[in-house]
Amino acid sequence: MRIKWMLIVSIVFLFSSCATAQQITIYTIGDSTMANKPNPEENPERGWAQILPDFFTSDVVIDNRAVNGRSTRSFITEKRWDSVLKTLKKGDYVFIQFGHNDQKEKDPKRYTNPHTAYRNNLIRFVKETLEKEAIPIVFSSIVRRNFNEFGTLVDTHGAYPMEARLVAKELNIPFIDLQYLTEQLEESYGVEDSLKLHLHYKAGEIPYYPEGKEDNTHLSEKGATEVAKMVINELKKMNNSLINYINLKI
């Protein structure tokens, strides 16, 4: 009886060990457009990476390290990148999306020249990820809802998305062009309906923003879900291991 019990325990341990060994972690590093938002029961704001767990099986862990207000510079100087490297392992992924705060010219702790510091910080993220035998994916920034008086969506990110593209191309790593995809998204909704993708509330409309809110950068739950869906669709087109872990029920 004891031998039988020990055999059962050994089999259970073997299966649980295999499941653990197969588990993949996706680290997401970036700014507020990706980050987890507090008080989700009350707060209508979401980062698009906050929605990603809904689209994967339990074999994938989304470790969202994106933080409001961070640029490539501040993410490094605050040792946030070092903390990712400490636990990053072979077969994991790193999703990299910066740009919104690298533009802050009046803040030397965050600003980066797109052609020099920003570019080289992205290269550092990519190369140090590869050294860990993990897989980096570079993303261009999502667009802001910035329609002019003629109803034309106007870019606000300048050279940063182009440098992200160039880094990915030169280092031969996967690239997801969220700038282009979210341009299409905003334009498909149009000037008025695209308000639903962001945070637009009149005073007294919802308790979380008693004085109202007009925010064309950050995402509502609807907007974040739309962006996350686009990311998943792009991942499906890539020949990598994540294809096997996308939740087909979604």
- Measured distance CA(206)–CA(6) in Å, rounded: 58
**What b-and-e string marks burial along 61-98, b requiring 16 or more CB atoms within 10 Å of the CB?**
ebbbbbbeebbbbbbbeeeebeebbeebeeebbbbbbb
How crowded is residue 103: how many other Cβ atoms within 10 Å of its Cβ?
19
- Measured distance CA(112)–CA(103) in Å, rounded: 7
In the residue annotation, 83 being an active-site residue is answered as no
Tally of CA atoms within 13 A in the half-sphere of 61 that contains its CB: 15
In the residue annotation, 214 being an active-site residue is answered as yes
Catalytic residue among 32, 71, 140, 141: 32
Catalytic residue among 78, 105, 133, 214: 214
DSSP letter for 209, please: S
Beta bridge partners of 64: 28
- Measured distance CA(181)–CA(235) in Å, rounded: 13
Residue that the structure tokens 């980066």 belong to: 112
Catalytic residue among 198, 218, 220, 226: 218
Find out whether 30 and 94 touch, Cβ atoms under 8 Å: no
Q: What are phi and psi of 210, to 5 degrees?
A: -60, -30
Strand 213-215 vs strand 45-46: parallel, antiparallel, or unpaired?
A: unpaired
Q: Which two tokens stand for residue 41?
A: 């029961």
In the residue annotation, 149 being an active-site residue is answered as no
What is the length of the chain? 250
Q: Which residues are catalytic?
A: 32, 214, 218
